[in-house]
Amino acid sequence: MSIIEVKNLTKKFGDFTAVKDVSFSVEKGGIFAFLGPNGAGKSTTIKMLTTLLTPTSGELFIDGHDVKKNPREVRHSFGIVFQDPSLDDELTAYENMEIHGVLYHVKKEILKERIKQLLEFVELWDRKNSLVKEFSGGMKRRLEIARGLLHHPKVLFLDEPTLGLDPQTRNHMWKYLSELNKTEGITVFFTTHYMEEAERIADQIAIIDHGSIVASGNVEQLKTSTGTSSLEEAFLKLTGRNIRDEDVSKTDAMRMRHQAWSRK
């Protein structure tokens, strides 16, 4: 049974088509890697799936709910870790969790217990009263994962969750995520530029380029169909070796400034 269904999804920004007639589905309880070079349409697709962006055309379903028609049910059914931080830096880890609980209508009686359980899970319980601005990049990402799970979503979206993290932290993150996937049956949907991560973790993969899906299947299928021995080679064969020189978007410009300012 598939928990995410995308049918003929298209998104245009003026003359530019960011996502072109994309269809795919994600099996319930699976770990799905959504891969593609920069500017291929990954983030745009995630934004449409998570109700942040309205598609130009096409249909989207999460856990049987129509994303366009029932955004509220859809929002209850997923958790998300964004590429850019979305924690409140001036609040403590605990307060960030608490607000999330209220936003998702988690009952007060169970909220406390769940926050404790999740912060322990990502090993941040002893830092619960520290302000988030004192956290390292990896700690913030772990907190975002814990927060995304607080309302017991069926799907967890992660947009480049390991970007900028050291190998230790990355390994840790995937350990949490596969544990969750196994024990709780949460479907994990992630994007990454690290092919070896996807090869190791994902049981389903879709590769998107220039707004269209160019290949999908499990690692073995992708390797066999391209006649390559690793996912990285398969990826390069499918998407070409040309470096994508994107113009710096306004978001990128702000991102650079943000990094410059937030460095300690």
CB of 35 to another protein, least distance (A): 22
Helices and strands (DSSP H and E) totals, the chain? 10, 10
Q: Rule CB under 8 A: choose which of 250, 260, 263, 264 binds another protein.
A: 250
# residues near another protein by CB under 8 A: 36
Q: Rule CB under 8 A: choose which of 9, 30, 31, 76 binds another protein.
A: 76
Point out which span in 31-39, 60-68, 86-94, 231-239 binds another protein (CB under 8 A).
Answer: 86-94
110 binds another protein (CB under 8 A): no
Q: Which two tokens stand for residue 264?
A: 């300690």
Please tell me the distance from the alpha carbon of residue 81 to that of residue 77, in angstroms, as a whole number. Answer: 14
CB of 186 to another protein, least distance (A): 17
Point out which span in 68-76, 116-124, 161-169, 171-179 binds another protein (CB under 8 A).
Answer: 68-76
Q: Rule CB under 8 A: choose which of 38, 84, 120, 171 binds another protein.
A: 84
DSSP-assigned beta bridge partners for residue 26: 4
SS3 label, residue 75: helix
- Phi first, then psi, for residue 167 (nearest 5°) are -55, -35
Q: Which two tokens stand for residue 263?
A: 């460095």
Q: Which two tokens stand for residue 59?
A: 């249909």
Evaluate whether 204 touches 181 at the Cβ level (below 8 Å): no
CB of 228 to another protein, least distance (A): 36
Q: Rule CB under 8 A: choose which of 8, 38, 52, 175 binds another protein.
A: 52
| List of E strands, the chain | 2-13, 16-27, 31-35, 57-62, 65-66, 78-81, 155-159, 187-191, 204-209, 212-217
Q: Rule CB under 8 A: choose which of 29, 85, 137, 138 binds another protein.
A: 85
Q: Rule CB under 8 A: choose which of 24, 45, 75, 135 binds another protein.
A: 75
CB of 30 to another protein, least distance (A): 22
DSSP 111: H
Please tell me the distance from the alpha carbon of residue 185 to that of residue 31, in angstroms, as a whole number. Answer: 10
Under the rule (CB under 8 A), what is the footprint of another protein? 47, 50-54, 72-73, 75-76, 78, 80, 82, 84-88, 90-91, 95, 99-100, 102-105, 131, 147, 250-251, 253-255, 257-258
